[in-house]
Amino acid sequence: MTIVQQLVAGLGIPNFKVLIPEIIVLITAILVFLAELFIKSRALISALTVVGLALAAFSMLTISEGAITLYGLYIVDSFSLAFKFFLVIFTILAIINLQSYVESKKTYYGEYYYLILFTLLGLMIIVSSPNLISFYIGLELSSITSYILVGLWRKDYRSKEGAFKYLIIGGAGTAIISYAIALIYGKTGSFDFARIFHVIQDNSDIGVTAGLVLLLVGLGLKASAVPFHFWTPDAYESAPTPITGFMASVSKVAIFAAILRIMVEAFPFSNQIWSYGWAILAAASMILGNFVALKQKNVKRMLAYSSIAHSGYILAALASPNGMGFTALIFYSIVYLFMALGGFIFLSAFEKNGNWTNDFEDFKGLAKKHPIMALYMLIYMFSMIGIPPTVGFMGKFGVFMALISSNVWWLAVILVITSVVSAGYYLKVVAYMYMYEPVNSNKFKLTAMEKFTVGFLAVLVLVVGIYPTIFWEISNILTSVLIMNAGVR
């Protein structure tokens, strides 16, 4: 017997069938990496990426049976599959709008494509890790590539600055997470969620509490929850806009999914601690995010703060540690993808034009020049405020009901009040678009892809808002999967 054979006999072969989507993404990333060296055609690289991602998404649909594989380091269940599917689809939507943007900004790099793919791979690992180690690996993979993505802007000082801040603070965040993991390991002797679940259930002492709270801090930092949000406005503002859209939607939602899985599967018995902790972070995020957003003059930065506020709304669901709260979190984070990506792609579409700086002033009279695009933006803004029948209303409604069912009235009240406050800046965009005369009559150049993406997502926001049943059911099912899986290995 060779050593390899001995190893295989001892450990068994991992079930690669369920890893096909990840493998496809990895292969695509490597292919793009190589192709970028030899192929001049930028459209081709972009197409290659999209095809690879589409294949990955398609391969996910063919997986009929979940499994825990890679020696207990990787879980494929409906929860991870559903989230991975959304992540891949929304990455495609971000990527198809990347080329036109970076070319018009004269900052094209082929690296964008495979870096996004590696980030995506990291995020896919995050949502399907039943183990703190694989979670940590996924987190590092996605974080490090994100730092580079933010800084990839030719000769732009602010981009480097934003990336540097992101790197320092993100690094601090990962450091905190590793302390947290160390503490938890010291107490439980395992990284595995199921093991942690079993060890912790009867004795939740100070070591576990400290570990859990540090974990909350680290995860909160990654989810840009106040007071650990400092990197967000700078990184979001200085990154190329489609990348911002990718980070604000895809990366963030993956983090929310991971948070939910860790909380439910590893620490269900400490729910008093973490529900309280998330409630505080959520309240701070909602208050600070919304009030600071009020004073922004730049819409991109305003959306960055709005994204902080939305982290607050979504994390608030965790203050209600029961099925209703989890369902609300899953539903809101999925639909948040629509709004966040749509909003940023809208900006990126207009930003291509030289005289557009994302200031509120630029929005003046947009409804006259681009009535349809303005309508889409109006839908996004209404959805972010939470005006029915948009999906944002359903999201907030779900969180609100969950909070009330657990009698967390104070947080519910903060949610409502800050939502009212948020109308102040979202409606400002609408007001500038609809109630001012255009400064000049120059039309903006928009590509078909951008129109499609923005329109498609806006229609989704509206349709799912009117008929949320399907997505709500999906969230319900995922919740029950999650709860059922807790502690089972």
Partner 1 sequence: MEYLWIIPFSPLIAFIIIGLFGYKFLREPLSGIVAVIGVAISAVASIIGFIDVAKTGNYYDLKLYNWISIGDYNVSVSILWDPLSALMTCVVTCVSTFIFIFATGYMKGDESYPRFFAYLSLFVFMMLMLTLSDNLVQLFFGWEGVGLASYLLIGFWHYKKSAANAAMESFVVNRVGDWLFLLGILLAFVTFGTLDYLQIFNKLAGVDYVIITAIALLLFGGAVGKSAQIPLHIWLPNAMEGPTPVSALIHAATMVAAGVYMVARLMPVFASSEIALDTVMFVGTMSAFIAATMGLVQNDIKRIIAYSTLSQLGYMFAAEGLGLFSEGMFHLTSHAVFKALLFLGSGSVLIALHHLLDVQKMGQIGRAMPITTGTFLIGALALAGIPPFVGFFSKDPIIEGAYEINTFVFLFLWGGAFLTAFYIFRLFFLTFFDGDRLDPHLREHVHESPPNMTIPLIVLATATVVLGFFKEFFINFLKPSLDPAYMKFLPNDVKALVSEGLSRAHHVHIEPNAFSFLGHSLTSFLGILILATAIAGITLAYVMYQIRRIDPVKIGDMFQPIYKLFYNRWYFDHIYYAIFVYGYYKLSKVLWFVGDKVIIDGIVDGSGKGSVFAGGVLGKTQLGRISGYVLQMLIGVVIFLSLFLFLK
From 400, 457, 464, 486, residue interacting with partner 1 (rule: CB under 8 A): 400
Size, binding site for partner 1 by CB under 8 A:
52
Is 216 an interacting residue with respect to partner 1 (CB under 8 A)? yes
Show the binding pattern over residues 58-97: x = contacts partner 1 (CB under 8 A), - = does not.
Answer: ----------------------------------------
d(CA 52, CA 409): 47
Q: Which two tokens stand for residue 121?
A: 């791979």
Residues in the chain: 489
Q: What single-letter amino acid sits at 40? A: K
Grouping H, G, I as helix, E, B as strand and the rest as coil, residue 192 is strand
Closest CB 171 distance from partner 1, rounded Å: 10
The answer to whether residue 456 forms part of the interface with partner 1 (CB under 8 A) is: no
Q: Which of 227, 361, 439, 443 binds partner 1 (CB under 8 A)?
A: 227
Which of 243, 324, 345, 399 is in the footprint of partner 1 by CB under 8 A? Answer: 324
Alpha-carbon distance 220 to 281, whole Å?
Answer: 7
At residue 107, φ and ψ (nearest 5 deg) are: -135, 35
446 binds partner 1 (CB under 8 A): no
DSSP classification of residue 14: -
We find the least distance from the C-beta atom of residue 195 to partner 1, in angstroms, to be 23
Would you give the distance in Å from CA 157 to the centre of its chain? 26
Shortest Cβ 430–partner 1 spacing (Å):
10
Q: Which lies closer to partner 1 via its Cβ, residue 129 or residue 285?
A: 285
Examine residue 481 and tell whether it contacts partner 1 (CB under 8 A): no
13: number of Cβ within 10 Å: 9
Residue 426 sits in the site that holds partner 1 (CB under 8 A): no
Q: Could you say which of 437, 440, 441, 448 contacts partner 1 (CB under 8 A)?
A: 437
**Ranges assigned E (strand) in 64-167:** 67-69, 74-76
230 binds partner 1 per the rule CB under 8 A: yes
Q: Which of 39, 172, 446, 481 binds partner 1 (CB under 8 A)?
A: 172
Shorter beta-carbon distance to partner 1: residue 165 or 300: 165
Question: Residues near 328 by Cβ (< 8 Å), separated by ≥ 6?
Answer: 317, 320, 395, 398, 399, 401, 402, 475
Largest CA distance in the chain: 80
Strand residue runs (E) in 57-194: 67-69, 74-76
| Residue 131 DSSP label | B
- Measured between its terminal Cα atoms, the distance across the chain in Å is 31
Contact flag: residue 27 with partner 1 (CB under 8 A): no
| Per-position x/- string for 256-295, each x denoting binding to partner 1 as judged by CB under 8 A, each - no binding | -----------------x--xx--x-------x--xx-xx
The stretch near partner 1 (CB under 8 A) out of 99-107, 188-196, 313-321, 462-470 is 462-470
Tokens 């825990």 found at: 68
Residues forming a β-bridge with 298: 359
> How far from chain centre, in Å, is Cα 399?
18
Cβ proximity to partner 1: between 246 and 267 the closer is: 267
Is residue 467 at the binding interface for partner 1, with CB under 8 A as the rule? yes
Residue 441 contacts partner 1 per CB under 8 A: no
Smallest gap from residue 168 Cβ to partner 1 (A): 5
Minimum CB distance to partner 1 smaller for 344 or for 360 = 360
Q: Give 69's strand partners.
A: 74
C-alpha pair distances (Å), 35 with each of 28, 63, 88, 107: 10, 29, 21, 19
Q: Is the torsion defined by CA of 265, 269, 275, 281 positive or negative? A: negative
Interaction of residue 186 with partner 1, rule CB under 8 A:
no
Please, which residue, 38 or 157, has the CB nearer to partner 1?
157
Per the structure block, which two tokens stand in for 117? Answer: 């793919």
Residue number, 2 or 441, with CB nearest to partner 1: 441
Residues found near partner 1 in the complex (CB under 8 A):
161, 164-165, 168-169, 172, 176, 206, 209-210, 213-214, 216-217, 221, 227-228, 230-231, 273, 276-277, 280, 288, 291-292, 294-295, 324, 367, 387-389, 394, 398, 400-401, 404-405, 416, 420, 423-424, 431, 434-435, 437, 467-469, 472, 476
